[in-house]
């Protein structure tokens, strides 16, 4: 997917790709390195360079990024006397060794800009100001050490520290946030440029969250504002978030990451976010001479309005950013003899200080809607099942008086760890009344737990991103004699932020049984045996060879908790991305042809009553034409019959444009020092273009008047021109792109239809591949 993603970023007007470097994937075992396949850092950077783009390399090595353990390898926790991210000798030793290894690899491949490579910036550490006070003088000394260590690598490009107000010279302090044009206090020295390393295009999501949104208009305003105030570089976090495959997501973070970015999880352009920002980048490029060589200035035009100028005296080089900072109302302003209309909280860009080529609040580019299409051939998948064996105390090897701490037991090799113990009860210990049952209570530090008594599933509980710990309580049936208790402790990613991460813990910390005739029994120190991982994991039942190691039966009814399911399916035709919808399932993991798709969690509902994520991305590179092996580990009682294989497209494209909108920014070009129109008519128009060379096959909605709604759900308002659909069909059907003027004389030649309202043209069309 890399070439396609990079190409779409470039077509979107970007010229820099920023990437983290992930220590825990490159050195998962101390001294053993992996730069192969998806982890080929050199190949990725070279590919960016081949596309004529630059690179910001965020070496970290702590990165946060909602990535497992913030990018730090688990083995680092077990280094004696280590304290992460502080003036601590063991941490500094391993950090410097890792950073030096990465930097040397880049130098060997001649990837830094002075060597002719694409890397123009490098980052050390990450948002350290958040935790610095917790370490006191150890934190202050660490910042100085990290900066000096990085600069001492002599890479020939500047180093940055994000959200680090006291970044030592010559390291540049940079901003992260949504509105750095107004919130950034600026570089800590006048010779340092103003850099925005993370402009959050939405918000990452954790299981239990509702959808995250950020309007394209708000992002565009923030970027225009930043550059109008002498900004040097803006980086979108994320421009493409993608998928946290396997177990790579941090604590409770969804498998899908920043799906609301301009390029969605599948690498499809999310409109209008992608194209509205593309148009912004075009407008800024028209201003580049003024931005680079002009003298900045600011002029107040009103209480909420101002103009920020870049002008080179004695020449025609001039760019203006007309700004309305009010969120409540529109304003008209007079600038150099002309009157300009500014919608609420918007910036109009005038690359020649005369003509508006772009307004952040007015979207003239197209919109789209994402469609999930069920693959017909996969509607009746033949499922087989194999229950995971529930162990008892006699089958475990790792013993301890109390339950082991979960992180330390699993060492980030699996999400699952068994805790087993047994208790001898006599008939007299058990309640005599049938309406009273004993209750098991488990206090856990997180993250989730399944409980079994005498091999029978009795229930589950889990924490949340905000509160990892929880208490599980459930009435249980016990018997005279030996009773076996098995708890399956689970992690949902390791922590990725905060101070003293090496001192975070998880798993059961206290286990008691209440309601016995003999009183409450504390089992915490009863003697526990443990197992790291599930038997199915050890047997690799998610891969072809491993499936032969266990017995499978046909699925006829709901399976018990903790069951493996498998089926086979053929790869969907075409090139559209592929996904799986885990309808009817609870919580678990998915594998396709032995590749982990990641964690799913359908039973953890958001406040809206829906799962935080229902569909999960299956990269086409994981698929073969026929008989793909799909394996699902389901932790809860479920039946897989409703699971759906889908293709994903954004073939529903739309335009929603007013008759007073400015002409599209591509109507303008710079000739020498002047901005000139390159089209005959500078009028607003609906511009539609199908993705992937597809053609417009249907006009699903068209209205010129006062339509309402959003792409995928438009509605006719009180005013509508009856000829709109016919005109749009004539202009667009059978074409890969079209433009329809948003003009009254096109749809209402007599000008008598609703003459007193400002009219809007709304169009929705369907694209498809034509033979």
* Alpha-carbon gap, residue 425 to 516, rounded angstroms: 10
Sheet holding 416-425, edge to edge: 398-400, 528-532, 416-425, 481-490, 448-453, 456-462
With both helix axes pointing from N to C terminus, report the angle between 89-108 and 41-50 in degrees, rounded to the nearest 10. Answer: 40
- 27, 66, 125, 127: the catalytic one is 127
Q: Tell me if 650 sits within 8 A of 368, measured CB to CB.
A: yes
Give the DSSP per-residue string, 122-187. Answer: EEES-STHHHHHHHTHHHHHHHHHHHHHHHTT--SS-EEEET-TTPPTTSEEEEEES-HHHH----
Length, in residues, of the chain: 771
Q: Out of 198, 271, 405, 615, which one is annotated catalytic?
A: 198
3-class DSSP state for residue 75? helix
Q: H-helix or E-strand containing 43?
A: helix 41-50
Q: Is the peptide bond between 272 and the residue preceding it cis, with omega within 30 degrees of 0?
A: yes
Distance CA(461)–CA(471), nearest Å, equals 8
Query: How far is Cα 279 from Cα 363, in angstroms, rounded to an integer?
Result: 9
The total of other beta-carbon atoms located within 10 Å of residue 333's CB is: 19
Percentages of the chain per state (helix, strand, coil), in multiples of 5: 20, 35, 45
- Cα torsion 124, 129, 135, 139: sign: positive
Q: Which sign does the torsion angle of CA 729, 730, 731, 733 carry?
A: positive
Calculate the CA 606 to chain-centre distance. Answer: 17
Query: 274 — alpha (psi -120 to 50), left (phi > 0) or beta?
Result: alpha
The β-bridge relationship of strands 159-162 and 119-124 is parallel
| Helices of type H across 158-305 | 180-183, 216-228, 273-286, 288-293
Q: Where are the alpha helices (DSSP H) in 496-543?
A: 535-538
127 catalytic, yes or no? yes
From CA 163, how far away is CA 178, in angstroms rounded? 13
Q: Residue 90, SS3? A: helix
In degrees, to the nearest 5, what angle opens at C-alpha 232 toward C-alphas 229 and 233? 120
Place of tokens 């699952």: 416
Kindly list the distances between the CA atom of residue 713 and the CA atoms of 377, 654, 725, 763, 764, in Å, as whole numbers in the listed order: 29, 10, 16, 11, 9
Put residue 178 in one of left, alpha, beta given phi > 0 → left and psi -120 to 50 → alpha: alpha
CA dihedral sign, ordered 508, 514, 516, 518: positive
What lies within 8 Å, CB to CB, of 72 at 6+ separation is: 23, 24, 61, 62, 84, 501
Angle at 56 between CA 54 and CA 59, to 5 degrees: 145
Q: Is 109 a catalytic residue?
A: no
Tokens of 734: 């059978």
Please tell me the distance from the alpha carbon of residue 732 to that of residue 477, in angstroms, as a whole number: 69
Q: Please answer whether residues 491 and 406 qualify as being in contact, where contact means their C-beta atoms are separated by less than 8 angstroms.
A: yes
**Angle, helix 41-50 to helix 2-11, in steps of 10 degrees:** 40
621, 1 Cβ separation under 8 angstroms:
yes
Tokens of 750: 């007599």
Catalytic amino acids? 127, 198
């Amino acid at each position: 997917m890399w070439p396609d993603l990079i190409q779409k970023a470039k077509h979107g007007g970007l010229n820099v790709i920023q990437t983290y470097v992930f220590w825990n994937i490159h050195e998962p075992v101390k001294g053993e390195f992996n730069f192969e396949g998806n982890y080929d850092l050199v190949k990725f950077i070279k590919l960016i360079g081949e596309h004529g783009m630059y690179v910001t390399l965020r070496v970290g090595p702590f990165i946060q990024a909602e990535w497992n353990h913030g990018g730090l390898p688990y083995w680092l926790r077990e280094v004696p006397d280590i304290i992460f991210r502080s003036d601590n000798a063991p941490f500094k030793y391993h950090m410097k060794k890792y950073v030096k290894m990465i930097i040397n690899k880049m130098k060997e491949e001649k990837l830094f800009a002075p060597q002719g490579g694409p890397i123009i910036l490098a980052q050390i550490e990450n948002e350290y100001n958040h935790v610095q006070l917790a370490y006191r003088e150890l934190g202050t000394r660490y910042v100085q050490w990290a900066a000096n260590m990085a600069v001492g690598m002599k890479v020939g490009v500047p180093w940055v520290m994000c959200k680090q107000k006291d970044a030592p010279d010559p390291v540049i302090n940079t901003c992260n946030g949504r509105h750095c044009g107004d919130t950034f206090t600026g570089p800590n020295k006048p010779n340092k440029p103003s850099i925005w390393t993370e402009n959050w295009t939405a918000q990452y999501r954790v299981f239990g969250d509702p959808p995250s949104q950020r309007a394209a208009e708000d992002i565009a305003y923030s970027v225009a504002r930043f550059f109008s105030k002498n900004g040097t570089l803006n980086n979108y976090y994320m421009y493409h978030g993608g998928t946290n495959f396997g177990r790579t997501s941090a604590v409770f973070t969804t498998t899908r990451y920043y799906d609301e970015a301009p390029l969605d999880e599948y690498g499809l352009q999310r409109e209008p976010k992608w194209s509205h920002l593309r148009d912004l980048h075009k407008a800024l490029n028209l201003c580049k001479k003024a931005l680079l060589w002009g003298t900045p200035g600011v002029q107040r035009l009103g209480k909420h309005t101002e103009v920020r100028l870049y002008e080179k005296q004695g020449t025609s080089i001039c760019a203006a950013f007309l700004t309305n900072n009010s969120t409540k109302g529109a304003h008209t302003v007079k600038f150099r003899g002309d009157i300009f209309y500014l919608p609420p909280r918007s910036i109009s860009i005038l690359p020649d200080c005369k003509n508006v080529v772009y307004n952040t609040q007015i979207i003239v580019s197209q919109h789209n809607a994402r469609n999930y299409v069920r693959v017909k051939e996969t509607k009746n998948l033949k499922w087989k099942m194999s229950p995971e064996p529930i162990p008892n105390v006699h089958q475990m090897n790792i013993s301890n008086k109390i339950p082991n701490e979960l992180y330390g037991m699993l060492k980030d090799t699996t999400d699952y760890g068994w805790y087993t113990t047994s208790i001898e009860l006599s008939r007299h210990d058990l309640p005599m009344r049938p309406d009273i049952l004993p209750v098991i209570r488990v206090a856990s530090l997180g993250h989730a737990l399944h409980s079994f008594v005498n091999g029978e599933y009795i229930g589950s509980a889990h924490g949340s991103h905000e509160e990892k710990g929880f208490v599980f309580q459930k009435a249980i049936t016990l018997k005279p004699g030996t009773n076996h208790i098995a708890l399956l402790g689970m992690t949902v990613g390791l922590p990725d932020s905060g101070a003293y991460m090496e001192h975070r813990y998880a798993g059961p910390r206290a286990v008691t049984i209440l309601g016995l005739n003999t009183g409450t029994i504390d089992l915490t120190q009863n003697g526990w045996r443990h197992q790291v991982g599930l038997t199915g994991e050890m047997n690799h039942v998610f891969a072809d060879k491993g499936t032969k190691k266990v017995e499978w039966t046909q699925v006829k009814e709901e399976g018990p908790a903790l069951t493996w399911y498998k089926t086979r399916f053929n790869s969907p035709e075409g090139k559209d991305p592929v996904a799986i919808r885990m309808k009817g399932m609870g919580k678990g993991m998915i594998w396709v042809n032995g590749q982990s798709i990641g964690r799913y969690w359908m039973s953890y509902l958001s406040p809206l009553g829906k799962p935080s994520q229902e569909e999960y991305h299956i990269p086409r590179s994981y698929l073969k034409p026929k008989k793909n092996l799909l394996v699902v580990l389901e932790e809860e009682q479920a039946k897989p019959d409703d699971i759906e294989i889908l293709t994903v497209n954004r073939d529903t494209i739309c335009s929603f444009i007013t008759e007073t909108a400015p002409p599209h920014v591509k109507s303008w070009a710079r000739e020498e020092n002047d901005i000139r129109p390159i089209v005959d008519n500078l009028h607003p128009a609906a511009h539609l273009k199908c993705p992937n060379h597809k053609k417009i096959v249907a006009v699903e909605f068209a209205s010129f008047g006062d339509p309402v709604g959003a792409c995928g759900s438009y509605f006719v308002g009180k005013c509508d021109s009856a000829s709109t659909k016919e005109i749009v069909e004539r202009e667009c059907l059978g074409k890969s792109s079209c433009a329809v003027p948003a003009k009254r004389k096109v749809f209402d030649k007599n000008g008598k239809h609703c003459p007193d309202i400002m009219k809007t043209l709304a169009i929705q069309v369907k694209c498809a591949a034509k033979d």
